Amino acid sequence: MRRGTEIALRPEKTFMQKGAKKRPVRKPQRQRKPGVESRMKPVPVSATGEPGSGKLQDKIALITGGDSGIGRAVAVLFAKEGARIAIAYLSEHADAEETQRLIEAENTECILLPGDLSKEANCRRAVSRAVKKYGRIDILVNNAAVHYEAKDLEDISAEQLVKTFSTNIYSYFWVTQAALPHIPEGGCIINTSSVTAYRGSPALIDYAATKGAIVSFTRSLASNLIKRKIRVNGVAPGPVWTPLIPSTFQPEKVSNFGSDVPMARAGEPAEIAPSYLFLASGDGAYITGQFIHPNGGEIVNG
């Protein structure tokens, strides 16, 4: 292992060894959207020090929203398992370059694909560039998302509504449409939904609506693609410590984020990523149209 990787993983190993029983101390903080992971206090845990086992050896993965948060953790874990990675992201170049560094430290390749995925042309461009580099896409992870807090339905502007739906669900359609001709038999698609799809969110009504749409999209697409031997599943995380949080909520809410779930803390991205690995690897070969719920113990029956 390269020295740079060892340094990057040292705090994450400590976190996992302690079992995350003690909730990390987060002071009130706020960032402008879309948020920068390196400025978060504490910085999210993106990886563990555990070695890979080759579950995705020679696979090609395209991950949207892969520069930070859950997307980064998934990208690094997939790389550790032998995959080559393409990351589509908005404009957080410093975060994306750090993710690329972590991936390349696992002795695999990573290309960066900046662009606003709320625009169809950028979705198609990202897929085209990934295919030009790697020739195919074995694993597509649709993960890009935005959310805006609004106290009342009347506070959600038409502009915000269109932006939220364009980023969170339209991009899933557009990226998947462009990618499908390049996904071989045995390939898979994994969509990121949310616990809010199952129990709603009074301050994130438009966001929760898009996440509900992702659930239906996933189940419908799974049935549609089953004869093509492409599996489609999803992950519906609960509260996770990512740049979305300090760039959306007021500082005091950020400091208590996740304390209302049974485990009384927000999850770390590194604790969510294994759900994606399970669905992407041979371990999930008999699973399609399903969701995994890493949400700190909340029962959603979905």
| Euclidean distance between CA atoms 124 and 178, whole angstroms | 6
Order of strands, edge to edge, in the sheet holding 188-192?
A: 110-114, 84-89, 60-64, 139-142, 188-192, 231-235, 291-292
Number of Cβ atoms within 10 Å of the Cβ of 17:
10
Helix crossing, 3-17 with 269-280: angle to 10°? 100
Instruction: Answer whether 88's CB lies under 8 Å from 63's CB.
Output: yes
What spatial distance separates the first Cα and last Cα of the chain, rounded to whole Å?
Answer: 40
Q: Is 198 a catalytic residue?
A: no
Enter the tokens of residue 164: 């939220």
User: Which residues does 69 contact at the CB level (< 8 Å), separation at least 6?
Assistant: 37, 44, 240, 242, 243, 244, 269
C-alpha dist (Å) from residue 131 to 85, 183, 187, 264: 11, 10, 14, 42
Give φ, ψ of 112 to 5 degrees. -105, 135
Kindly name the residue from 134, 198, 207, 276 that is annotated as catalytic.
207
Radius of gyration for the chain, computed over Cα atoms and rounded to the nearest angstrom: 18
Please list the active-site residues.
207
